[in-house]
Amino acid sequence: MTGTAALLAGLGIVALGFGILSALLALFQPFTDPLWIFGNLAIGLVLLFVAISMSLESLRNRIRSSGSRRAGKYGSSAILSAILGVVLLGFLGFLSTRYAHRFDVSEAGVNTLSPQTTELLDDLDQNVTIEAFFAEAERPNARDLLDLYAFNRDRVSLEFTDPNDAPGRIDELGLSTDELAKGVVRISLASGEATTLSKFTESDVTNALRKLVKSSGKQVYFLQGHNERTIEPVPGEEDQGEFASGPDSYGRAAMALKNETYQVAPLLLATEADVPADAAAVIIAGPTRLFLPEEIAALKRYVDGGGSLFVAIDPRAQTNLYDLLQSWGITLGDDVVVDRALAVFGQATTPLAGEYDGKHPITAQMREPTLFPMVRSVEIDPAAKADFSTIVKTGTDSWAERSLDAWRKTGRAELGSEDLVGPVPIAVAGNPRLASSDDKPPKAAGRIVVFGDSDFATNADLDALRNRDLFVNSINWLTGDVEQITVRPHVSRASSFQMTQDQFRRIQYVSLFVLPEAIAVFGVIVWWVRRRAPGR
């Protein structure tokens, strides 16, 4: 073919080829518009018919020549190879629908479930159904996350339902219009237990699933009455919510524990004869006033009886808990850690954790640093009959400054002979041991975690670096929930653009069909123009 007939033939082959390819893709992804498929097939056939009609005589002559036989031989081989390639691609596409694997190339790993979630899903002993009620345009917002829960897991099934298409199901579940406005996710077990969610972060979905599967509901108390960090909102705070929102409070820390399925409440020990029997752990965060002797005795009875205690005391805090901690083998230094090398923005009294205990459950998975605004040393008495480990230390260039009065007068801190050279221990965890009256070894009492700083878990600093993980892991260990200890899900470092379903389909059409076919048409035109150029 020559001239216009060659151009029409080339364009016809392009249109026919893309029509066939679109039809094959429609078998696996039924989003292709039938008008596009049949339009391409019709245009391709018409153009080929016109091109052949314009070149009937030249085609007869070429068929009779020896060159045409060679061309037919190699041409048929090329056609068969192309058909075989298309069949192989189709087969690979079919296999991809049966055997899929996902890769997460995001910098922070935000498209991968956390180890905490993965372990929970792997340990499921009954089937879980996740029903997502979203309008068609809202589905992409939650689908990406929920797909990760059901991906390659036989015990988890995921169903997306448009509320407008299932009014009977909506009435059966008693879902209100307000709940459905932004979407609802319902998680149910084969046993019949179920819960609904209106927030769809990994933390929300995983915690809801854990509540159904494990339903621990352990009680954690925050001790009050000695100027500790409060968890209750101050009257008059704006948007105070369930817990305190002030920067120096422990409201977010309490919410973090609630998200781990714990029950959280304040405890005024002075009004109680003993620590409540349902206490899985008691938190003493930043006390600055004296305890009553009866309160100290109650705390000692609680730990001696197997209770768990979290203590965080800031440098030079005016409290009388030091003797109680000393009786268990823990000494808090009258000092402040200084680190001019490993500190936040050069603030020497705000050091970063330089070393974790890789064997202790609290810190075994910790790799990234934590931040401690104004922290003191916490040492273990080697002569004490206790089983303690130093779980956090500061950097090798740090020291615990013990000439605090001289530092206050001169404004300069220098390493002296009386100071504790780094790495400085700033947190310990373990089991105190009870004295035995006979020759038997002393019995282990409860569990204790002690930090030389309470600021690290305040609202202002809880979400800095890995502070939240360190605090929550400590409570997990104290309450015996070792399987919940992990590094929480990463937070994305970049914003994302959310598209509606229609916008997504338009982009699919343009990228899969319009642009490739336009490029092919342009290529045919360039080939035809160059072929007609003089001397060709």
How far is residue 360's CA from residue 391's CA, in Å, rounded to a whole number? 7
Domain end residue (candidates: 175, 194, 211): 211
User: Is 489 inside any structural domain?
Assistant: no
Residue 456 has what DSSP assignment?
A: G
The answer to whether the pTM exceeds 0.85 is no
Q: What share of the chain is helix, strand, coil (3-state, %, to 5)?
A: 40, 20, 40
Residues 303 and 319 occupy one common structural domain: yes
User: Is the domain of 287 the same as that of 409?
Assistant: yes
Q: Is residue 242 part of a domain?
A: yes
Residue 107 placed within a domain? no
For each of the chain's 536 residues, which pLDDT tens digit applies? 567 777 787 788 888 888 887 777 776 655 567 777 888 888 888 888 887 777 776 666 666 666 656 666 666 677 778 788 878 877 777 776 666 566 555 555 556 777 778 888 888 888 999 888 887 666 656 777 888 888 778 888 888 888 888 888 888 877 767 667 778 888 888 877 777 777 778 877 887 787 777 655 789 999 999 999 999 987 766 555 688 888 999 999 998 888 777 899 999 999 998 999 999 999 999 999 999 999 999 999 999 999 999 999 999 999 999 999 999 999 999 999 999 888 887 789 999 998 999 999 999 988 889 999 999 999 999 887 678 999 999 999 999 999 998 888 888 888 888 999 989 999 999 998 876 655 566 666 799 999 999 999 999 999 888 999 999 999 999 998 876 666 555 554 444 455 555 666 677 777 777 888 888 888 878 877 777 766 65
- Which residues are 189's β-sheet partners? 128
CATH of the domain at 121: 3.40.30.10
Structure tokens at 250: 């422990």
46 and 91 together in one domain: yes
Domain boundary among 211, 227, 246: 211
Same domain as 276, residue 224: yes
Residue 498 falls inside a structural domain: no
Contact of 453 with 312, CB cutoff 8 Å: yes
Rounded Cα distance, 13 and 521, in Å: 10
Q: Is residue 300 part of a domain?
A: yes
Residues 48 and 67 reside in one and the same domain: yes
Is 312 within 8 Å of 454 (Cβ atoms)? yes
Co-location of 418 and 345 in the same domain: yes
* DSSP code, position 377: -
In-domain check, residue 311: yes
Q: Is residue 490 part of a domain?
A: no
Does some domain include residue 176? yes
**Residue that terminates a domain, selected from 172, 193, 211:** 211
The enclosing domain of 329 has a CATH number of 3.40.50.880
Residue partners of 275: CB distance under 8 A and separation at least 6? 221, 267, 269, 282, 298, 299, 301, 302, 307
Q: Are residues 136 and 250 in the same domain?
A: no
CA angle 287, 357, 492 (to 5 degrees): 80
155 and 45 inside one domain: no
Q: Are residues 205 and 347 in the same domain?
A: no
Task: Look at residue 78 in the predicted model and tell me its pLDDT.
Answer: 73
User: What number of H helices and E strands is found in the chain?
Assistant: 16, 20
Could you please report the per-residue DSSP string of 246-282? STTS-HHHHHHHHHTT-EEEEEEGGG-SSS-TTEEEE
**Residue 106's pLDDT is what?**
55
Q: Are strands 336-338 and 343-344 parallel, antiparallel or unpaired?
A: unpaired
Are 181 and 248 in a shared domain? Answer: no
CB neighbourhood size of 60 (10 A): 9
Please state, in angstroms and rounded to a whole number, the distance separating the CA atoms of residues 189 and 170.
18
Q: Could you tell me if 32 and 145 lie in one domain?
A: no
- The full DSSP string for 116-184 is HHHHHHHT--S-EEEEEE--GGGHHHHHHHHHHHHTT-TTEEEEEE-GGG-HHHHHHHT--HHHHHS-E
Domain count, the chain: 3
For residue 500, the model assigns a pLDDT of 57
CB-CB neighbours of 100 under 10 Å = 9
For residue 198, the enclosing domain spans 115-211
Can you state the angle between helices 3-26 and 515-532, rounded to 10 degrees? Answer: 160
Clarify whether residues 245 and 271 are in a common domain.
yes
**Which pairs with CB-CB distance under 8 Å and at least 24 residues apart come from 228-237?**
228/284, 228/285, 228/286, 228/287, 229/285, 229/286, 229/454, 229/457, 229/458, 230/266, 231/264, 231/266, 232/266
